[in-house]
């Protein structure tokens, strides 16, 4: 029997309705012992890619868990509901629309997957078409948390058949990189699709200046360990807490300053040498 | 002795201050075992009707609990604080301003009620005038959760004397319905005051088109099982997760598109036949 | 061995990313039993003073706890990470930038303090420069919650050496007071830096009228027990739930009505006598 420390929950449900609480309640009725860690419920409505980015970058810091994620613009249509066991011992539950794919990789890759066809684990046999988080995903997850084996949730499916999101556009050369803006966070920091290791091989090291060009901009920006190493109000490139290169303004908001949003293509090259 | 799985909490306190946490803390000092499910704290300030709608539509999915709800523009004035036991075994605690009324009905109706006159269950004998959530409602609820009988919280009152909110304007005929917009959710979906059963008797069935008229609009909208059954950007009427007819835009925000807000009167009639 | 009821958490991390959940996860991996009370994560980015005000006004209502607070514009620079034991039995963990200082006072004052130099209690020996909440403060706090003695977290430091925030500008005379706006809350109520006791000695009692003057305004406002004692839409001065004088509009938003923001200097004097 698998053993999970907790159940985690990520959605685009927002926090002003009772949607999240209804799911917590449904879980509590099935298993009294699940500690739920809410990751976020403020994924922009229907933004699968943003949900996938937040989930995959948070999961490495969470205990072994049943992870429920619902960003599901196709709810009630033909897309499958799925549960995926991963090499690290966690299980992911949600819609088969790519939302889970990056996090499943970050969790060691899939070892088994099922389509959620067993209605005995749903909230009821006959559920409405529009709230699968409450009616299918959360009750199935609660049963898995409580000890139900994965195979009980439904029909085995080939992990190769799972929907995956395209990986971000990233091309590393020995003198720079092509990448895209991956996400922006609460502070307005813009995460690029280049890890700090990739940056090293592209000669974009800390302590240097880097030239960024994108459709609406062309700037030379210093790369530093942290924002505090440039004067207040200045732009800086640093390695963010998920290990990616990111753009920030010390004490300010880079996303508001620059016309860059998730998906914007950016080219990076070593800039002019810095004065010692 | 009543036995509750959890304590739930709904307010208009917002999440940027420490108000909600202070209430959690007060509860924790009285009973170490209460699992608190936060329903929402983003009810618009003083909007009793919105609070009542969210509470009543969430409660059916929550375990047997002590439900604390505080949207209380009259705090510190003569309105009573109350606790109400319901037929389903839950207890509701809050101001006697109608906020609890719809949820008490959804929970089976009142079986007993008290006015919170016993200061021994308050946070202290002498509480400030403006934060009854922290100083009266939550400490009383924590004591009830911990096993105090309802009668200990104060003077018995007649459930008939409780303040109730007027029910929404809804009139069903055999060829249509008069209703009002009840709430709008995080996605901008607009919930109407017609249940799907009422819609059936008004000949407003799934698979048909329905003509909606309101002060600033007149539209024919298809009724479907879910948003995904109309093209992206199109309007649709569907049965929402609480069992009400609701207006949505597939992938969009109906409340931003239409000039409809909670309280807007709407007339619904079977529209022209659909091409097969 | 110290014994804590819970762990509390206040940051400026926002709620749309996975930052808060990552910290919860890191804590859960170290100690399975910590109940975390989230105070707020919506402190405006980098606003140490606002974080200090919310923390210090909430702590009196929380159980004995390990309190983790992170508003840390200087993360990754030379400022120390600290843990402070207080006379009331709690421990505060966070950056040494003044954020904790008011709450430490509200918790009885410091009895011992350490600089978080022992990397054995960090998430890993080699942490990134920008997310000390996840990598240093929360794991150290989880170890302290689980029973590690304060001295194990690092090098003992003199509590006198801790960074403190300047106290608000407040001057009480027998005929009035000079003060400043301290914070504004979710409802738009403006808290002044005068406690109700100070107001009494300044002859600014309940039931009187008070004249407020500030750079952009000059108004006479009644002092009452609660908002509901003035007509809807009217301004009122009342004692707020933290014991300070505060400005409100009954059913409205004082901060939007008046051009007062945290830090604005205000002079208060007894106004004209009220008609009996």
Our CA dihedral for A128, A133, A139, A142, rounded to 10 degrees, sits at 180
Residue of A133, A63, B78 lying closest to C32 (CA atoms): A63
Of B80, B103, B99, B100, the C-alpha closest to B153 is B80
The Cα–Cα gap between A266 and A107 comes to 28
Phi/psi at A221 (5° precision) = -130, 135
* Residue appearing with tokens 């709690």: C90
pLDDT value for B228: 86
Quote the CA–CA distance of A104 and A176 in Å, as a whole number. Answer: 29
- With CB atoms and an 8 Å threshold, state whether B22 touches C62: yes
**Residue reference for tokens 């051009």:** C259
| Strands annotated E in chain A | 6-11, 36-40, 65-70, 81-86, 91-95, 110-115, 155-157, 171-173, 176-184, 190-195, 209-214, 217-222, 235-239, 244-249, 265-270
B36: enclosing H helix or E strand = strand B36-40
B11: chain C residues, CB-CB within 8 Å: none
| pLDDT value at C88 more than 70 | yes
Q: Do B58 and A130 touch (CB under 8 A)?
A: no
- B25:C62 CB<8 A: yes
Average pLDDT over residues B3-21: 95
What does the pLDDT read at residue B272? 78
pLDDT in tens, C176-222: 999 999 999 999 999 999 999 999 888 888 788 999 999 999 999 99
- Please give the pLDDT value at position A125: 87
Cα–Cα distances (Å) from B123 to B131, B134, C59, in that order, read 11, 8, 15
* Locus of tokens 């016309």: A259
The verdict on C146 touching B (C-beta cutoff 8 Å) is: no
Select the residue of B22, B128, B129 nearest C61 (Cβ to Cβ): B22
Q: How large is the average pLDDT for residues C226-234?
A: 91
Q: Which residues of C touch A189 (CB under 8 A)?
A: none
Q: How far apart are CA C55 and CA C60, in angstroms?
A: 9
Question: Taking phi first (over 0 means left), then psi (-120 to 50 degrees means alpha), and beta for anything else, what does residue B185 get?
Answer: beta
Predicted pLDDT of residue C274: 63
| Residues of A in Cβ contact (< 8 Å) with B8 | 21, 25
Q: Rounded CA gap, C39 and C61, in Å?
A: 11
CA B165 to chain centre: 11
H helical segments located in chain A: 19-30, 48-58, 101-106, 132, 138-145, 196-201, 254-257
**Mean pLDDT confidence for C132-154:** 97
Q: Is the pLDDT of residue B81 over 70?
A: yes
Cβ atoms of B81 and B74 closer than 8 Å:
no
| Beta-strand pair A91-95/A65-70 | parallel
First to last CA, chain B: 60
**pLDDT score at B276:** 46
DSSP-assigned beta bridge partners for residue B90? none
Integer Cα distance of A7 and C124 in angstroms? 24
Q: Output the pLDDT for position C1.
A: 45
Q: What is the pLDDT of residue B255?
A: 94
Q: Which of B245, B216, B247 is CA-nearest to residue B230?
A: B247
Check pLDDT > 90 for residue B275: no
Closest CA to B208 of B271, B126, B141, B117: B271
Over chain B, what is the mean pLDDT?
Answer: 93
Average pLDDT, integer, range C38-42? 98
Mean pLDDT computed over C127-147 = 94
DSSP 8-state code for residue B54: H
pLDDT in tens, B106-131: 999 999 999 999 999 999 988 888 89
The pLDDT tens digits of the residues spanning A147-200 come to 999 999 999 999 999 999 999 999 998 889 999 999 999 999 999 999 999 998
pLDDT band at B1 (very low <50, low <70, confident <90, very high): very low
CB C204 within 8 A of CB C233: no
CA distances to C32, C165, C204, C261 from C194, rounded to whole Å, are 42, 17, 10, 16
Q: How far is CA C64 from CA B99, C3, C37, in A?
A: 33, 8, 12
CA distance C170 to chain A (A): 29
Sign of CA dihedral B92, B94, B95, B97: negative
Tens digits of residue pLDDT in A26-44: 999 999 889 999 999 999 9
Give tens-digit pLDDT for B180-236.
Answer: 999 999 999 999 999 999 998 888 887 889 999 999 999 999 999 888 899 999 999
CA dihedral B11, B16, B18, B24 (to 10 degrees): 50
Residue C176: CB atoms within 10 A of its CB come to 19
Residues composing chain A: 276
- Determine the pLDDT at residue B2: 55
pLDDT of residue A276: 46
The token pair that represents A221 in the structure block: 């920006």
What distance in Å separates the CA atoms of residue B65 and residue A255, rounded to the nearest whole number? 44
Q: Taking a C-beta distance cutoff of 8 angstroms, is the pair A19, B38 a contact?
A: no
At which residue do the structure tokens 């978080």 appear?
C116
Residue A2: its pLDDT value, please?
55
- Distance to chain B for C185, nearest Cα, Å: 6
User: Residue C199 corresponds to which tokens in the numbers above?
Assistant: 């107001």
For residue B172, what are its two tokens? 């069903």
Return the structure tokens found at C247.
Answer: 């400005």
Angle between helical axes of C138-145 and C19-30 (0-180°, round to 10): 30
Q: Is C58 on the interface with B (CB under 8 A)?
A: yes
- Residue of B6, B14, B16, B76 to mutate when probing chain C, most C C-beta within 10 A: B16
Q: Which two tokens stand for residue A248?
A: 């920030």
pLDDT at C128 over 90: no
The average pLDDT across B7-35 equals 96
- DSSP letters spanning C14-74: -SSSSHHHHHHHHHHHH-TTPPEEEEES-SPTT-HHHHHHHHHHHGGGSPSEEEEEE--TT
Average pLDDT of chain A, as a whole number: 93
Question: Would the pLDDT of C276 be above 80?
Answer: no
Q: Do C61 and B25 make contact, defined as CB atoms within 8 angstroms?
A: yes
For residue A226, name the pLDDT band (cuts at 50, 70, 90).
confident
Per-residue pLDDT tens over the stretch A185-216:
999 999 999 999 999 888 888 788 999 999 98
Residues of C in contact with B77 (CB under 8 A): 226, 228-229
Closest CA to B67 of B130, B150, B142: B142
Any CB–CB contact under 8 A between B18 and chain C? yes
How many Cβ atoms sit within 10 Å of the Cβ of residue B251? 16
Please give the average per-residue pLDDT across B17-41, as a whole number. Answer: 96
Pick A25's closest partner by Cβ from B55, B61, B186: B61
């Amino acid at each position: 029997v698998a053993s999970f420390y907790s159940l985690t929950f990520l959605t685009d449900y927002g926090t002003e309705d009772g949607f999240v609480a209804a799911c917590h309640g449904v879980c509590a009725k099935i298993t009294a012992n699940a500690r739920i860690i809410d990751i976020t419920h403020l994924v922009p409505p229907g933004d699968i890619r943003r949900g996938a980015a937040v989930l995959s970058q948070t999961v490495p810091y969470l205990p072994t868990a049943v992870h429920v994620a619902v960003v599901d613009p196709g709810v009630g249509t033909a897309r499958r509901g799925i549960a995926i066991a991963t090499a690290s011992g966690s299980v992911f539950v949600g819609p088969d629309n790519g939302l889970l794919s990056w996090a499943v990789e970050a969790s060691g890759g899939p070892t088994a997957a099922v389509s959620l066809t067993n209605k005995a684990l749903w909230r009821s046999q006959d559920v409405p078409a529009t709230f699968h988080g409450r009616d299918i995903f959360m009750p199935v997850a609660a049963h898995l948390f409580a000890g139900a084996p994965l195979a009980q949730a439904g029909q085995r499916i080939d992990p190769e058949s799972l929907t995956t999101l395209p990986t971000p556009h990233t091309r590393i050369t020995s003198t720079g990189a092509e990448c895209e803006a991956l996400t922006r966070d609460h502070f307005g920091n813009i995460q690029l699709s280049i890890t700090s290791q990739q940056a090293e091989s592209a000669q974009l090291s800390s302590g240097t200046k880097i030239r960024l060009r994108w459709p609406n901009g062309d700037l030379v920006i210093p790369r530093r360990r942290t924002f505090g190493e440039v004067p207040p109000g200045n732009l800086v490139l640093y390695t963010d807490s998920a290990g990616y290169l990111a753009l920030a303004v010390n004490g300010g908001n880079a996303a508001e300053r620059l016309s860059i949003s998730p998906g914007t293509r950016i080219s990076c090259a070593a800039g002019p040498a810095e004065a010692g």
